[in-house]
A = this chain, B = another copy of it.
Amino acid sequence: MAESDYPKPSVTVDITIFAIKDNDLKVLLIKRSIEPFKNMWAIPGGFVRINESLEQAAKRELEEETGVKDVYLEQLFTFGDVERDPRGRVITVAYFALVNSEKIKLEAKTDVSEAKWFSVSKLPKLAFDHEKILQYALKRLRWKFEYTTVAFSLLPKKFTLTQLQKIYEIVFNKKFDKRNFRKKILSLSLIEKTKEKKKDVSHRPPQLYSFRRKIGDIVEII
C-alpha cells in the first residue's frame, strides 16, 4: 500500500440542503452557469481542499451557500461511478443538511448565477446524477425524522406540540392524529412543559414545551 502512482480522481462534496419554508419541505438548488449541464439546476457542492476534512468542506460550502453555521449535517453516501461527470473522474461525497429557515440569508458569497429553494414535490431536472443523490437524501431525511430527534433542531427553544406536529406532517406529507401524536411524543420523555403559554394568539393559548437536551443533540429513538 505504497503511495499511489496512478492518476488520482478529483473529490468533491455535494450538499442537499433541506429547509421547511412556507409550510413545505424545500431543497436549495443552484443554476449552473457553465458547461457541462449549463443552465441546469444542481445540488450545491465543490472540491475538497487538500487541507480540510470532508465535513469541513461540507460546512464551508454550506456556509457559502446559505450563510448559516450550526445546522444539522450528515454524510449520506459517496458516489463514484466512472461516468458520473463528463469532465473526468470525480468522486463526490454527498451530505445532507437541515437548516432552520428563519436563520437563512440566501446567497452570501456564491459564485453561481442563481440559487433557489424548490419544493421537493416540484423539482426541476437536475444535472449529473443529482436526481439520484437528492432522492437518497430525502429518504434518509424521513428516516431521521422517524427514528431520531432531528425535528427539534428546526424549532425555537420553546415551542408548542402543534408546531412540532406540523413539521412532521410537512416532512412526511401526511396528517397525523393529534391525540396519538401527543401521546407518543410525551411518552418519550424528551420534552417538558415550560411555565409559559404562547401569548397573543386568537384562541386558547397553547402550552410551550422545551427539549430536555442541548440544542442540536440528536438522539436515536429506535
Structural contact, B80 and A1, CB atoms closer than 8 A: no
Interface residues on chain A, size class? 35 or more
Q: Does A217 contact B (CB under 8 A)?
A: no
Q: Does A23 contact B (CB under 8 A)?
A: no
Give the shortest distance, in Å, between A33 (CB) and chain B (any CB).
9
Q: Which candidate, A44-52, A100-108, A203-211, is the interface stretch facing chain B?
A: A44-52
Structural contact, B9 and A48, CB atoms closer than 8 A: yes
Assembly CA distance A55 to B1 (angstroms): 19
Q: Which candidate, A65-73, A87-95, A159-167, A185-193, is the interface stretch facing chain B?
A: A87-95
Tell which of B1, B55, B89 touches A46, judged by Cβ atoms closer than 8 Å.
B1
Tell which of B4, B6, B53, B88 touches A82, judged by Cβ atoms closer than 8 Å.
B53
Contacts of A55 in B (CB 8 A): 80
Structural contact, A4 and B9, CB atoms closer than 8 A: no
Give the shortest distance, in Å, between A31 (CB) and chain B (any CB).
12
Structural contact, A8 and B6, CB atoms closer than 8 A: no
Give the shortest distance, in Å, between A107 (CB) and chain B (any CB).
16
Q: Say whether chain A's binding surface is mostly helix, strand, loop, or mixed.
A: loop
Q: Does A77 contact B (CB under 8 A)?
A: yes
Q: Does A201 contact B (CB under 8 A)?
A: no
Assembly CA distance A78 to B53 (angstroms): 11
Contacts of A77 in B (CB 8 A): 75
Q: Beta-carbon contacts of A20-45 to B below 8 Å, as 1s and 0s?
A: 00000000000010100000000001
Structural contact, A54 and B32, CB atoms closer than 8 A: no
A-to-B contact residues, CB < 8 Å: 1-4, 6-12, 32, 34, 45-55, 75, 77-78, 80-82, 87-89, 91, 93
Can you list 26 A-B contacts with CB-CB less than 8 angstroms, sorted by A residue number?
Answer: A1-B12, A1-B32, A1-B34, A1-B46, A1-B47, A3-B87, A3-B88, A4-B47, A6-B47, A8-B9, A8-B11, A8-B50, A9-B11, A11-B80, A11-B91, A48-B91, A50-B89, A51-B82, A52-B82, A53-B80, A53-B82, A54-B78, A75-B78, A78-B93, A80-B93, A91-B93
